[in-house]
Homo-oligomer: A and B are copies of this chain.
Amino acid sequence: MTKLNKKVKNIIDKIYPISEKSFQEIERLIEFETFKKGETFIQKNKRNKKEYFVLSGVCKSYLINPDGNEITLSFFLEKSILSPYSIRTSKNISNQYFKALTDLELSSINAKEFETLMIENIEIRNFANTVLQNELISKVEKEIGLASLTAKERLIEFRKKYRVLENIIPHTDIASYLGITNISLSRLRKDLIN
């Protein structure tokens, strides 16, 4: 197994461990992609047909609101998996943007072929369902946060979940994730120093 593929296996196993045999099915499909910091590598309303693993770097999913501002939906750290294809696309068309916040190394696999594996192989299916559930749990947690915590509490939670991020990505991205302005974020940062 190449070093790259081993990385993918590790990401999978951290979510739902699968056998060597099952992984070999996936391995055949793996491709490698890199993007420069700042690049939007999945465009909303454009065709996309892949599942992605983040090997190194950080990226975000986002949308653009009526005022033209980017609203961060989620962050994806290294050694994790992007939102699964099935929930970010309809009819091969992406419903979100994804942007590299640092230089980014991804592995990708064809989503349709992966779906076939999923149907045939229970381990892979369980893995995929776990990804799906984690995604939803994370969305619900965020929803709860936005609906019932103050901005300060949300920042505290954010720091627990994404320790590293605050020092390596623009605060604007974090602020829109938290549902506040970057000025408010700055105030809260000052406030939390004590």
Interface residues, chain A, CB within 8 Å of chain B? Answer: 63, 65, 67, 69, 71, 73, 86-88, 90, 95-96, 119, 129, 132-133, 136-137, 139-140, 142-144, 146-148, 176-179
CB pair A146 B143 closer than 8 Å = yes
Task: Tell me if A's interface is mostly helix, strand, loop or mixed.
Answer: helix
Q: Shortest distance in angstroms between A56's beta carbon and chain B's nearest beta carbon?
A: 27
List of B residues within 8 angstroms of A86 by Cβ? 129, 132-133
Q: How far is B133's CA from A10's CA once the two chains are assembled, in angstroms?
A: 28
List of B residues within 8 angstroms of A176 by Cβ? 147-148
CB pair A132 B179 closer than 8 Å = no
CB pair B179 A87 closer than 8 Å = no
